[in-house]
């Protein structure tokens, strides 16, 4: 559990008749008063706090901070809003009073979104903005609702990326490891095959050099590299080994009218 959050902004959010204190802290994350949520749902605050403190993931979202209240500054427990759905998903509907079960479902489905919106959009209530639609064409209302749906989808995507960020990073790391492994020499010719290519190049270079009177090793290697798109004969893909040997054999035969001497 983290302690002593630095609160930079506080807002009171009306959530279906319950007033919840939401705060933004120094790292930009949003928290809500833990006790207020427990009180709204009629669950035992101490029991819930113990449950969270023993949870590997939820314990990271429970922290303490000092908030101004009507009775003066008070230090209280706060819950990170992106973890609120996970916390509340662990509370069975049968564990709360019957008249509060519908409220529990609303908190599970909507609380994190509404609390987040309080700081991103200035939305401080769950009430529908009916006054906004007064005298507006159905087309404009539809466009507004579509934009809200797109925003909601994007917000959920962001929250999901935050929750999965660690796992995605681990997956990317494993992918890089696999890619690195695929680039290892075992994808290329073996040491024995590389030796055969080297001998073939030597035979061709000596044969060509006898006719030109020059050192032709660089020219033969250069032509081999150009034809197979490589920068070294040891980087020749294993699947093209036989093709490379045929290329060098035919070259040698064209120069000497005889196959390679090995």
User: What is the tens place of the pLDDT at every residue in 196-238?
Assistant: 999 999 999 999 888 888 898 888 998 999 899 988 888 899 8
Distance CA 137, CA 220 (A): 78
Percent of the chain with pLDDT over 90: 20
What confidence score (pLDDT) does residue 84 get? 84
Q: 252 is written with which tokens?
A: 């040698």
pTM: 0.45
| Long-range contacts formed by 119-127: CB under 8 A, 24+ apart | 119/9, 119/11, 119/22, 119/24, 119/30, 120/155, 124/11, 124/12, 124/13, 124/14, 125/13, 125/14, 125/15, 126/14, 126/15, 126/16, 127/14
Cβ of 235: how many Cβ atoms within 10 Å? Answer: 15
Q: What are the extents of the domains in the chain? A: 7-127, 138-183, 191-256
Is the pLDDT at 149 greater than 70? The verdict is: no
CA 229 to centroid of chain Cα atoms: 35
Tell me what pLDDT residue 76 has.
92
Count of residues for the chain? 262
Choice among 12-21, 115-124, 191-200 with the minimum mean pLDDT: 115-124
């Amino acid at each position: 559990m983290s302690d002593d959050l630095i609160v930079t902004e506080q807002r009171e959010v009306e959530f279906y008749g319950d007033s919840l204190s939401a705060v933004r802290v120094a790292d930009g994350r949003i928290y809500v008063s833990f006790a207020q949520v427990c009180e709204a749902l009629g669950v035992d605050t101490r029991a819930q706090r113990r449950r969270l403190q023993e949870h590997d993931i939820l314990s990271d979202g429970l922290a303490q901070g000092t908030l101004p209240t009507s009775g003066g500054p008070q230090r209280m427990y706060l819950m990170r809003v992106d973890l609120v759905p996970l916390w509340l998903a662990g509370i069975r509907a049968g564990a709360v009073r019957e008249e509060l079960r519908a409220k529990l479902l609303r908190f599970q489905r909507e609380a994190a979104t509404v609390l987040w919106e309080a700081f991103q959009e200035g939305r401080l209530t769950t009430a529908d903005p009916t006054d906004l639609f007064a005298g507006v064409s159905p087309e404009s209302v539809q466009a507004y609702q579509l934009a809200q749906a797109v925003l909601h989808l994007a917000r959920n995507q962001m929250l999901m990326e935050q929750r999965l960020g660690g796992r995605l990073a681990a997956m990317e790391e494993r992918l890089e490891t696999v890619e690195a492994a695929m680039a290892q020499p075992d994808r290329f010719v073996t040491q024995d095959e590389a030796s055969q290519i080297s001998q073939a190049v030597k035979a061709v270079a000596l044969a060509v050099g006898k006719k030109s009177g020059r050192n032709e090793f660089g020219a033969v290697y250069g032509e081999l590299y150009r034809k197979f798109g490589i920068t070294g004969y040891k980087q020749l893909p294993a699947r093209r080994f036989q093709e490379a040997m045929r290329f060098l054999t035919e070259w040698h035969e064209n120069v000497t009218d005889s196959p390679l001497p090995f």
